[in-house]
């Protein structure tokens, strides 16, 4: 079986060789990628009462500085027959989503996230929210992770469905550091979908 080169062997369509008339390889001009730092995350809290009024209409979006890997895994079903072991796809397991926020002073980011967390479990009373007894839409919400192009316009959206805050953690306080304070929130979700921008 012979395997032909695609890029390294100067495919005529790719023009790997630089031409005297100014022609450039396709990888230098047509294969632009989505940049890891061009993104926004949009939150849709289940209750408008969770977020306190601030200077900006989207304070959590502006405060979010890092989003962990987003994904899900399909578990394996092992089937054993004599000396063989084969696999079939089983249930899917969504990963946890971790978002790191700058602790914006005027927007009270830490308090807003705590208030959202408190809508799930109230550590003051030890009670879970009574909203669990009515409808999941009262405490579960959706998020949109928007990927931006070079012109800062949305090019695709990762939609996370049925999410709720699971952990709320303040970063350490340390006199020897020279950086902004952050809050880390972990979210659980049910489903996700990767879409092109509508």
Nearest to 119 by CA among 97, 140, 143, 142: 140
Q: What is the tens place of the pLDDT at every residue in 162-187? A: 999 999 999 999 999 999 999 999 99
**pLDDT surpassing 60 at residue 193:** yes
Range of the domain at 187: 32-196
* Residues 57, 145 within the same domain: yes
Residues 22 and 55 reside in one and the same domain: no
pLDDT in tens, 25-55: 778 877 888 899 999 999 887 766 666 666 7
Average the pLDDT over each of 13-27, 77-91, 95-109, 160-174 and give the range with the smallest value.
Answer: 13-27
Taken in order 143, 147, 153, 156, is the CA torsion positive or negative? Answer: negative
Tell me: pLDDT of 133 over 70: no
- SS in 3 state form for 47-74? CCCCCCCCCCCCHHHHHEEEECCCCEEE
Segment 15-31 shows an average pLDDT of 77
Do 26 and 116 lie in a common domain?
A: no
Shared domain check, 92 and 39:
yes
Domain count, the chain: 2
Residues 59 and 114 in one domain: yes
In a shared domain, residues 83 and 146: yes
Residues 80 and 22 in one domain: no
Model-wide pTM > 0.75? yes
Same domain, 95 and 25: no
pLDDT over 90 for what percent of the chain? Answer: 49
Residue 79: phi, psi to the nearest 5? -120, 125
Check whether residue 2 and residue 52 sit in a common domain.
no
- Return the CATH number at 165: 2.30.110.20
State whether 27 and 43 are in the same domain. Answer: no
CA angle 44/47/52 to nearest 5° reads 90
Residue 136, pLDDT above cutoff 60? no
For 130, the token pair is: 């009574």
Residues 19 and 48 in one domain: no
Q: Are residues 21 and 62 in the same domain?
A: no
- Sign of CA pseudo-dihedral 64, 129, 57, 143: positive
- Please say whether the beta carbons of 143 and 33 come within 8 A: no
């Amino acid at each position: 079986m012979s395997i032909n080169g695609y890029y390294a062997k100067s495919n005529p369509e790719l023009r790997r060789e630089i031409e005297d008339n100014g022609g450039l390889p396709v990888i230098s001009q047509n294969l632009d990628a989505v940049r890891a730092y061009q993104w926004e995350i949009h939150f849709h809290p289940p209750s408008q009462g969770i977020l306190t009024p601030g200077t900006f209409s989207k304070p959590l979006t502006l405060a979010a500085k890092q989003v962990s890997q987003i994904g899900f895994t399909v578990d394996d079903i092992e089937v054993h027959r004599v000396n063989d072991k084969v696999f079939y796809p089983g249930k899917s397991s969504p990963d946890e989503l971790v978002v790191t926020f700058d602790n914006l002073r005027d927007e009270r980011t830490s308090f807003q996230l705590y208030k959202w967390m408190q809508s799930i479990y109230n550590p003051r009373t030890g009670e879970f929210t009574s909203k669990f007894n009515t409808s999941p839409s009262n405490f579960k919400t959706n998020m949109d992770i928007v990927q931006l192009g070079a012109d800062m316009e949305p090019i695709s959206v990762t939609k996370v469905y049925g999410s709720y805050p699971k952990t709320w953690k303040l970063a350490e306080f340390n006199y020897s550091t020279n950086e902004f304070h952050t809050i880390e929130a972990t979210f659980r979700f049910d489903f996700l979908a990767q879409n092109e921008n509508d």
